[in-house]
Amino acid sequence: MNATGDALSNCAKTDGFMKTHTTMVPWEAGLHVRPASVLARVARRFRSRVLLRAGGKAANAVSILSVMLLCAAQSTPLEIEVDGDDEEAALQAVLAVFAPEGVTEASPD
């Protein structure tokens, strides 16, 4: 299974208004500034609210600092919660960041 897992089996509609998905942090350096900035740029493209949860903490995905304060190391389980009228598109875009072809250690900002 890749870093994002199977989108259908790991995705859940929790209350009819929110989608959740659990993935793992794939980067050797953890969820550092480069992937945090990519996540923030992606999340800002959508009207839906995107939250990330790890280790009992939550972060608004549009905030680079908030995402970095999760202190999520490589292989940390990360729950993604998306709520809004474009939640499916937002979730897929955020998951693409975690895909093997998403952000790499050497990719430019």
State the total domains in the chain.
Answer: 1
| pLDDT at residue 12 tops 90 | no
Which residues have a catalytic role annotated?
32
- Say what the pLDDT of residue 7 is: 38
The answer to whether residue 39 is domain-embedded is yes
- If pLDDT is split at 50, 70 and 90, which confidence band does 2 have? very low
Structure tokens at 64: 């680079």
The answer to whether residue 28 is domain-embedded is yes
The answer to whether residue 109 is domain-embedded is no
The answer to whether residue 53 is domain-embedded is yes
Q: What is the pLDDT of residues 16-49, one digit of tens each?
A: 578 999 999 999 999 999 999 999 999 999 999 9
Instruction: Quote the domain boundaries for residue 53.
Output: 7-98
The answer to whether residue 106 is domain-embedded is no
Q: What is the pLDDT of residues 40-75, one digit of tens each?
A: 999 999 999 999 999 999 999 999 999 999 999 999
For residue 80, what is the domain's CATH number?
Answer: 3.30.1340.10
The answer to whether residue 83 is domain-embedded is yes
The answer to whether residue 108 is domain-embedded is no
